[in-house]
Amino acid sequence: MKKLIPVLFLLLFNLVSFSQDTLPKFSARNIGNNRIVIGWVNKYTNVKQISIQRSFDSLTNFKTILTVPDPTSRENGFVDTKATNDRMFYRIYVMLEKGFFLFSQSKRPFYDSAAVIAAKKKIMLEGQVDKLGKIDSLNGPNASAKEKSNGNVFVASKYVYTLQDGYVRIKLPDDADSKTNKKYSIKFFDEAGKLVFEIKEITLSNFKIDKSNFYHSGWFNFELYEDGKLFEKHKFLIPKEL
């Protein structure tokens, strides 16, 4: 039964994966359990910023709920779990070079019944397996935890690891702020090896990434690059919300 765990996460991810539209169009889907999935395909090569905004109506009082870490990614999205209700309106703000910007049309999310059914099936199946929900990289660099699936000891990366609140901490090497001018980038993958998103140029040496950017709980892999060369390849766990 333990071998079902990667399949469960992959099944859910595939069924709730984005049916993206090309910017300035975007998709907005209600996949149940207070989760609104916003997704898009980016066609712009000169984009400087992409932000998701939310409002109670379709015309006014829009507030930015997320500015994506890497606006140049070809495909991207966000799972909103903090909306007051599932009938709110969303739009995308895109800033281009030389101060040019545009807004998408606002829209309400549509109810994605297939994704809701998939999520319910996942919950049912999880009750039959030895879950890894409480195994994560815990409070900081090199913390360890025993994986229930095979008895091995997991030692977290000291550069990319999960905090107690489920957020992912990125802490670059100590010399990242020195005069060496080293450039770092990072790619995140799901358990099946599919690229989730990447940050092509990390501008901060110590920051957090919202766990909702990873779309679901479970193990994720990452590749951290220094000056274009692979610096570290490891994994971390986004814990399941109780």
The Cα angle at residue 186 between residues 73 and 183, in degrees rounded to 5: 105
pLDDT reported for residue 17: 44
The Cα angle at residue 224 between residues 220 and 225, in degrees rounded to 5: 150
Percent of the chain residues past pLDDT 70, beyond the cut = 73
CATH class as words, domain 17-111: mainly beta
Condensed to tens digits (0 to 9), the pLDDT of residues 69-125 reads 888 888 888 889 889 898 999 999 999 998 899 999 999 999 888 766 766 665 555
Domain positions in the chain? 17-111, 144-238
pLDDT reported for residue 119: 63
* Residue 5 scores a pLDDT above 50: no
- Mean pLDDT over all residues of the chain? 78
The predicted model scores a pTM of 0.49
What are the Cα distances from residue 241, in Å, to 16, 123, 166? 18, 12, 9
Average pLDDT for residues 216-226, to the nearest whole number? 92
Between 162 and 118, where is the model more confident? Answer: 162
Confidence of residue 207 (pLDDT cuts 50, 70, 90): confident
Between 143 and 185, where is the model more confident? Answer: 185
Residue 9 · residue 87 · CB < 8 Å: no
Query: Alpha helices of 91-197 — where are they, by DSSP H?
Result: 113-126
Condensed to tens digits (0 to 9), the pLDDT of residues 21-35 reads 789 999 999 988 888
> For residue 239, is the peptide bond before it cis, meaning its omega torsion is within 30 degrees of 0?
no
* Residue 4 scores a pLDDT above 70: no
Between 238 and 12, where is the model more confident? Answer: 238
Average pLDDT for residues 143-168, to the nearest whole number? 70
φ/ψ of 125, rounded to 5, equals -70, -35
Domain 144-238 in CATH 2.60.40? The answer is yes
Average pLDDT for residues 217-231, to the nearest whole number? 93
E strands present in 113-240: 144-146, 153-155, 160-162, 168-171, 184-189, 195-199, 206-209, 218-226, 229-238
Average pLDDT for residues 146-163, to the nearest whole number? 70
Between 16 and 93, where is the model more confident? Answer: 93
pLDDT reported for residue 31: 86
The answer to whether the 17-111 and 144-238 domains have the same CATH topology is yes
pLDDT reported for residue 167: 85
- Which range is least confidently modeled, 16-20, 123-127, 197-201? 16-20
* Residue 8 scores a pLDDT above 70: no
Confidence of residue 6 (pLDDT cuts 50, 70, 90): very low
The angle that helices 4-15 and 113-126 make with each other, rounded to 10 degrees, is 170
* Residue 62 scores a pLDDT above 90: yes
